[in-house]
């Protein structure tokens, strides 16, 4: 219960350092987010069920292990979650996809929902919620509440950078949801931004500022 996995693999740490640098251009920022998503997906899917199936190689009949059960659903918290989503889909191409549009009101830091669409059978699937930044965790807590209201039970959360405040809030609200992050940073500034962080993930991913 209340699990936090910091994926401190050297490749993740190196790519995160490049992401944090303010001079990293948009195209490279996107590429790095996709690459880190691959590495996070590798960790987060470790316990997916396998089944032994008969196959034929060019030489002989044998048995091999393949993914079993309902396909994973990746849920992106818009809009910045889409960077991680893209990368994860490269590794898990048959995953189903859900989108939750949440905009963080800069005055209250509360999420405002503007879109929600997930597979109708999400209750039967393992779910990975992706959002690059876990700051106050207001967005992540709301997203997981929505998914649970639709019956989802097997939920994991993946981000690039988490603040200790966000981890504590998420663990308190959803102790059953493990958090996978590339880094646990120092904390939040007065505007709810993670320090040292990487700035506004959506703006850096889409070049909107």
Taking CB under 6 A as the criterion, the residue among 81, 98, 119, 197 binding ligand URA is 197
Q: CB–CB of 177/170 below 8 Å?
A: yes
Of the ranges 17-25, 68-76, 137-145, 174-182, which one interacts with ligand PRP (CB under 6 A)? Answer: 137-145
Task: Determine, following the binding rule CB under 6 A, whether residue 181 of this chain makes contact with ligand PRP.
Answer: no
d(C-alpha 156, C-alpha 163), whole Å: 17
Taking CB under 6 A as the criterion, the residue among 41, 75, 177, 201 binding ligand PRP is 201
Q: CB–CB of 199/133 below 8 Å?
A: no
Of the ranges 15-23, 26-34, 131-139, 144-152, which one interacts with ligand PRP (CB under 6 A)? Answer: 131-139
Task: Determine, following the binding rule CB under 6 A, whether residue 134 of this chain makes contact with ligand PRP.
Answer: yes
> Residue 83 binds which one of ligand URA, ligand PRP, none, with CB within 5 to 8 A depending on kind?
none
**In this structure, what DSSP letter does residue 123 have?**
G
Q: Which residues have CB under 8 Å from 17's CB, separation 6+?
A: none
Task: Determine, following the binding rule CB under 6 A, whether residue 200 of this chain makes contact with ligand URA.
Answer: yes
Query: Which residue in 30, 104, 142, 204 is the catalytic one?
Result: 104
Selection from 115, 159, 162 nearest residue 136 by Cα: 162
Handedness of CA 135, 141, 146, 150 (dihedral sign): positive
Strands 187-188 and 194-195, by their bridges, are antiparallel
Query: Which residue in 150, 154, 176, 200 is the catalytic one?
Result: 200
Q: Phi/psi at 115 (nearest 5 deg)?
A: -160, 145
Look up 203 and say whether it is catalytic: yes
Residues that bind ligand PRP (CB under 6 A): 77-80, 102-104, 109, 111, 131-140, 166, 192, 200-202
Query: Annotated catalytic sites, by residue?
Result: 104, 108, 200, 203
């Amino acid at each position: 219960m209340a699990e936090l996995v910091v994926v401190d693999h050297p490749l993740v740490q190196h790519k995160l350092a490049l992401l944090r640098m303010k001079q990293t251009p948009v195209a490279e920022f996107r590429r790095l987010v996709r690459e880190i998503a691959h590495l996070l997906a590798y960790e987060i899917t470790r316990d997916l069920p396998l089944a032994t199936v008969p196959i034929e190689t060019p030489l002989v009949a044998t048995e091999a292990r393949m993914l079993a059960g309902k396909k994973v659903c990746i849920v992106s918290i818009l809009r910045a979650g889409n960077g991680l989503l893209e990368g994860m889909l490269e590794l898990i191409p048959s995953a189903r996809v859900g989108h939750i549009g949440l905009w963080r009101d800069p005055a209250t830091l509360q999420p405002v929902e503007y879109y929600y669409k997930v597979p109708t059978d999400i209750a039967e699937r393992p779910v990975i919620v992706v959002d690059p930044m876990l700051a106050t965790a207001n967005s992540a807590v709301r997203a997981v509440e929505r998914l649970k209201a639709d019956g989802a039970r097997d939920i994991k959360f993946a981000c690039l950078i988490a603040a200790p405040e966000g981890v504590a809030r998420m663990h308190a609200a959803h102790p059953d949801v493990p958090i996978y992050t590339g880094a646990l940073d120092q904390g939040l500034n007065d505007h709810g931004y993670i320090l040292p962080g990487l700035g506004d993930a959506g703006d850096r991913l889409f070049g909107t500022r």
